[in-house]
């Protein structure tokens, strides 16, 4: 199987370390070092309007801090103070949250932007790329001025809390020469679960020399197909009981070699609430697994010194309809938009349900050393501003939903990322599938 491995060099042009033979490292020679930190989804305060407002206030404060401290964008004043002063031709910097926007005949967009002091109208010209990409609930910085004979605030620049262009993730000779493997959307319990493909992967993990380098297996949601997720699902299930599905998953994971620790976070098919952030699987289900580490969704974990951000990816369902360049086939572009906005579920009240927690755990406060999503049943690996991004592959065959979307899922690929040399490899396990990057 090793000759089928595609070695994908980092796209990031900044070569930080030239570490050789990191793929030859034996994972069992190095200690397992996992810190999952805070488990999300456990601090819901309520669901009143006040709780929702407090959630958005927390989001605003968190991304405002990113804009100020990481991007160097400082406000001239609050919206109410700028509105009172309203000096013609003076340039102002404002940080706020987009509450609405509409396309104008000129091709630009008129937005309403709000901070804690008030609301103002502002215009983004069609020449600005932000006129094609702004979403409601985005927290942004804007630079602009009032016209001579107009109360309209004309925006000259839109600043997102984006990852800095020269950012470099952690890695190199000071880190263990071990790798992290990524898979998601396994959907055990479904008639479409690719059991032969999974078993082939387990055999490879126990026998292949490269597999000896794997220290962690991150399973980014939808481990099981669940019950009652969509109308008619019962016709596509092998087990119509969620506990039986997880029992199957647990026994399949028992086949992993001892040097690989699985890390499981839930997705929209798993037996947790659909609203994000999602708590980890209930204790009764966790007990079925002998060695897995369970987390919430999203998961922020430190693996042998590397900061991982793992998110199942339901936020894609809201980004894809709004941004023309993002599709289910190339959902890695959606990951870039999440990093650009520093938020994984930008819009409230759309397809992705959000829970009004005390803190908005969907904010990407700290730039991760590696970012992974699933959910879309596609597959990709790319670098974005020094952050390796993985769209983890599925272990489910072509479903009715995929047929409805009109594309074939990219199934049976295992992505490996070596934390020392910052390289990725992809191993295909599904028959007749080719790697296409």
Comparing 2-44+166-428 with 72-159, is the CATH topology the same?
no
Q: Higher pLDDT residue, 17 or 349?
A: 349
Contacts of 135 (CB under 8 A, 6+ apart): 98, 319, 322, 323, 341, 346, 347
pLDDT digits (tens, 9 = 90+) for 386-437: 999 999 999 999 877 777 767 788 999 999 999 999 999 999 998 754 433 3
* Cβ-contact 424, 417 below 8 angstroms: yes
pLDDT in tens, 116-133: 999 999 999 999 888 889
The four Cα atoms 203, 204, 207, 213 give a dihedral, to 10 degrees, of -130
pLDDT at 155 (0 to 100): 94
User: Residue 163's pLDDT is what?
Assistant: 97
- pLDDT (0 to 100) of residue 235: 81
Task: Return the CATH number of the domain spanning residue range 2-44+166-428.
Answer: 3.60.21.50
Displacement of CA 210 from its chain's centroid (Å)? 27
Judge whether residue 44 has pLDDT over 80.
Answer: no
Q: What's the predicted TM-score (pTM) here?
A: 0.91
What share of the chain in percent tops pLDDT 90? 73
Residue 241 confidence class, pLDDT cut points 50, 70, 90? confident
pLDDT, residue 46, reads 64
15's CB contacts (< 8 A; 6+ apart) are none
Domain ranges of the chain: 2-44+166-428, 72-159
| Closest residue by Cα to residue 409 from 219, 234, 185, 180 | 185
At the fourth CATH level, which superfamily is domain 72-159?
Nucleic acid-binding proteins (2.40.50.140)
**Does the structure show a pLDDT above 60 at 39?**
yes
Q: Quick check: helix, strand or coil at residue 284?
A: helix
Average pLDDT in the 352-358 region? 87
For the segment 242-264, the average pLDDT, to the nearest whole number, is 95
- Phi/psi class of residue 232: alpha, beta or left (left: φ > 0; alpha: ψ in -120 to 50)? left
Does residue 181 surpass a pLDDT of 90? yes
Q: What per-residue confidence (pLDDT) applies to 266? A: 96
Question: In which element (H, E) is residue 140 found?
Answer: strand 139-146
Evaluate whether 125 touches 51 at the Cβ level (below 8 Å): no
pLDDT at residue 52, as a whole number: 87
Q: What is the pLDDT of residues 319-350, one digit of tens each?
A: 999 999 999 999 999 999 999 999 999 888 78
For 304, left (φ over 0), alpha (ψ -120 to 50), or beta?
left
For 392, counting Cβ atoms within 10 Å of its Cβ (0-12 exposed, 13-18 middle, 19+ buried), the class is buried
Query: d(Cα 303, Cα 170) in Å, to the nearest integer?
Result: 12
Mean pLDDT score across all residues of the chain: 89
Q: Which residues contact 140 (CB under 8 A, 6 or more apart)?
A: 67, 95, 96, 97, 98, 113, 130, 134, 158, 159, 160
């Amino acid at each position: 199987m090793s000759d089928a491995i595609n070695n994908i060099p980092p796209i990031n042009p900044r070569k930080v370390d030239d570490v050789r033979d990191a793929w030859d490292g034996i994972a069992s020679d190095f200690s397992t070092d996992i810190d999952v930190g805070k488990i999300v989804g456990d601090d819901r305060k309520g669901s009143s309007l006040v709780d929702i407002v407090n959630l958005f206030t927390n989001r605003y404060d968190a991304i405002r801090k990113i804009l100020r401290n990481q991007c160097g964008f400082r406000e001239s004043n609050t919206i109410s103070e700028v509105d009172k002063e309203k000096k013609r031709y003076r340039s102002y910097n404002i940080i706020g949250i987009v509450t609405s926007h509409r396309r104008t005949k000129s091709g630009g967009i008129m937005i309403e932007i709000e901070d804690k002091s008030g609301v103002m109208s502002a215009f983004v010209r069609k020449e600005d790329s932000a006129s094609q990409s702004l979403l409601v609930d985005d927290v942004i910085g804007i630079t602009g001025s009032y016209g001579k004979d107009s109360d309209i605030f004309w925006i000259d620049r839109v600043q997102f809390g984006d990852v800095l262009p020269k950012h470099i993730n952690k890695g190199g000779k000071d880190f263990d020469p071990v790798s992290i493997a990524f898979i998601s959307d396994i959907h055990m319990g479904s008639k479409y679960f690719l059991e032969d493909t999974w078993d082939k992967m387990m055999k490879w993990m126990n026998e292949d020399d490269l597999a000896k380098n794997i220290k962690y297996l991150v399973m980014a949601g939808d481990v099981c197909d669940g019950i009652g997720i969509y109308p008619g699902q019962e016709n596509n299930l092998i087990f119509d009981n969620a506990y039986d599905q997880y029992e199957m998953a647990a026994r399949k994971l028992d086949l992993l070699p001892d040097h690989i620790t699985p890390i499981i976070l839930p997705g929209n098919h798993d037996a947790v609430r659909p609203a994000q952030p999602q708590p980890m699987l209930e204790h009764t289900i966790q007990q079925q697994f002998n060695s897995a580490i369970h987390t919430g969704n999203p998961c922020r974990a430190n693996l042998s010194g590397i900061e991982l951000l793992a998110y199942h990816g339901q936020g894609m369902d809201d980004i894809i309809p709004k941004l023309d360049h993002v599709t289910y086939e190339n959902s890695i572009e959606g990951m870039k938009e999440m990093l650009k906005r520093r938020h994984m579920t930008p819009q409230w009240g759309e397809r992705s349900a959000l829970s009004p927690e005390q803190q908005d755990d969907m904010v990407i406060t700290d730039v991760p050393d590696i970012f992974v999503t699933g959910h879309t049943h596609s597959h990709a690996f790319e670098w974005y501003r020094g952050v390796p991004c993985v769209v983890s592959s599925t272990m489910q065959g072509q479903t009715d939903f995929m047929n409805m979307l009109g594309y074939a899922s990219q199934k049976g690929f295992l992505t490996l990322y070596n934390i020392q040399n910052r390289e990725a490899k992809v191993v295909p396990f599904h028959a007749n599938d080719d790697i296409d990057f």
